[in-house]
Amino acid sequence: MARTVYLHIGLPKTGTTFLQTTMWENRDALRKQRFLYPGTSRMDHYHASQEVRGASPARMGRNAGVWRRLVDELAAWDGDGLVSHEFMSMATAEQAQAAVAALAPAEVQLVVTVRSYVLQFPAVWQEALKMNSDLGFDEFMDRALAGKLRGGWSWQSQDIPKVLGNWAAAVPPERITVVTVPPPGAPRGLLWERWREAIHLDDSAFDLDVSYANESLGAAQAALLERVKPHLSGPLEIGTVRHRWVRKYFGHEVLVPQRGERFGPRPHHVAELATRSAAARDWIAEQGYAVVGDLDDLLSTATPDGTHPGDVPDSEIVDVAARAIERMIRDVRELTTERDRLKAKLRRRSRRQPVGGTRAVAGRIRKALGK
């Protein structure tokens, strides 16, 4: 069994995509120092987090049993290992205890990345908007702070004392490390340096140019996405399809590159979030957990001066939409050109085939064209 398993439970929107991508893309270098990041894909850790939180085999479908497979890989490993997904933050105390027990006899070291709530929630709202929420930023904040939202983009996954309290039922305080996300203006790479220190990692052989951050939308881009969301229909209402085409394509590939104006919450939301961040900071200090970074990072209220998404004028949204449409037309043209090129190539081949092979070639053409 692995000697030590680092269990990174988030929180969501604390640089988790950046950290996970960097680790995943350097798996070979990790193995050379006897450190295992198990799984056949990075999404295995997401599916494992679902099972840890009680998802049934019927709901998991072809991904059923992935948590057990990760545990088995770690059981066969002689060294250290890592399981990392931000939705582990939503586990109950009982679920946390079961997860830690499944990893025995390895020593579980819990790692939690945290950030100022004031900086956190604009990113949390955007992720919700890219996926299953149609709420504007103001209504989202009102509901989140009132505890009226559920799921990965709610207060349920962000409440630092509650999250840590649940997992502290399974992991003793001396094996819990809190990593603070640096505030705006901090040196580039500082979060990675803190992460490396928290899990005792040698990254001297790493390629650190392979990772990417889950970048944010600007105010006008978010406002456009908010306008689009109620019109999604058909397959785009299915979670996996929406993730691929609304979140990843329209959000990350079309809108993010526009580099829109950053934004923060309304002043009354800032005040409430700052109060809760300060309380979380004091609570962590009282527990005596190891901290990598500075707990005062949680007190940052350095909100951007950008227009609030709810105040973006229609004229600006139209401009963003026009640029988005132009980009999407170019993408469709590129795909159509490639399709037509393939179609012509297959037809040329079919003319060179003997009569007996024409039916097989025609079948390949139909398959290539999705017919």
Q: Please state, in angstroms and as integers, the Cα–Cα distance from residue 245 to each residue in 121, 194, 242, following that order.
A: 23, 33, 5
The model's pTM is 0.88
pLDDT of residue 364: 60
Nearest alpha-carbon partner for 350 in 371, 370, 364: 364
pLDDT of residue 345: 87
What is the average pLDDT across 69-75?
A: 98
Give residues with Cβ within 8 angstroms of 57, minimum separation 6: 64, 65
Q: What is the pLDDT of residues 248-299, one digit of tens each?
A: 999 999 999 999 999 999 999 999 999 999 999 999 999 999 999 999 999 9
Tracing tokens 């001066």 back to the chain, one arrives at 305
96 pLDDT more than 70: yes
In the sheet that 35-36 helps form, which strands lie side by side, from edge to edge? 35-36, 80-84, 4-8, 107-114, 176-180, 290-292
Q: What is the pLDDT of residues 182-213, one digit of tens each?
A: 998 899 899 999 999 999 999 999 998 886 66
The whole-angstrom separation of Cα 224 and Cα 316 is 9
358 pLDDT more than 70: no
357 pLDDT more than 60: no
367 pLDDT more than 80: no
pLDDT of residue 365: 54
The whole-angstrom separation of Cα 79 and Cα 93 is 27
Residue 68: pLDDT band (50, 70, 90) is: very high
Q: Nearest 5°: phi and psi at 215?
A: -75, 155
Q: What is the pLDDT of residues 107-141, one digit of tens each?
A: 999 999 999 999 999 999 999 999 989 999 999 99
Spans of all domains in the chain? 4-116+153-212+278-301
pLDDT of residue 214: 67
Q: What is the pLDDT of residues 49-61, one digit of tens each?
A: 999 999 999 999 9
371 pLDDT more than 60: no
Task: Give the containing element (helix H, strand E) for 226.
Answer: helix 219-228
Residue 370: pLDDT band (50, 70, 90) is: low
Q: What is the pLDDT of residues 252-262, one digit of tens each?
A: 999 999 999 99
pLDDT of residue 142: 97
Residue 307: pLDDT band (50, 70, 90) is: very high
Report the phi/psi class of residue 19: left, alpha or beta, with left for phi > 0 and alpha for psi in -120 to 50. alpha
Domain 4-116+153-212+278-301 classification at class level: alpha beta
The whole-angstrom separation of Cα 371 and Cα 364 is 10
pLDDT of residue 26: 96
Nearest alpha-carbon partner for 252 in 207, 278, 226, 222: 222
35-36 and 80-84 as β-strands: parallel, antiparallel, unpaired? parallel
Q: What is the pLDDT of residues 343-354, one digit of tens each?
A: 888 888 877 765
pLDDT of residue 355: 52
| Dihedral, 300, 301, 307, 308 alpha carbons, nearest 10 | 110
Residue 311: pLDDT band (50, 70, 90) is: very high
Strand, helix or coil for residue 114: strand
Give the chain's mean pLDDT: 93
| Dihedral, 235, 123, 167, 31 alpha carbons, nearest 10 | 80
pLDDT of residue 309: 96
Say what percent of the chain tops pLDDT 90: 85
Q: Do residues 93 and 169 touch, judged by C-beta distance below 8 A? A: yes
The whole-angstrom separation of Cα 292 and Cα 181 is 10
What is the average pLDDT across 82-93?
A: 98
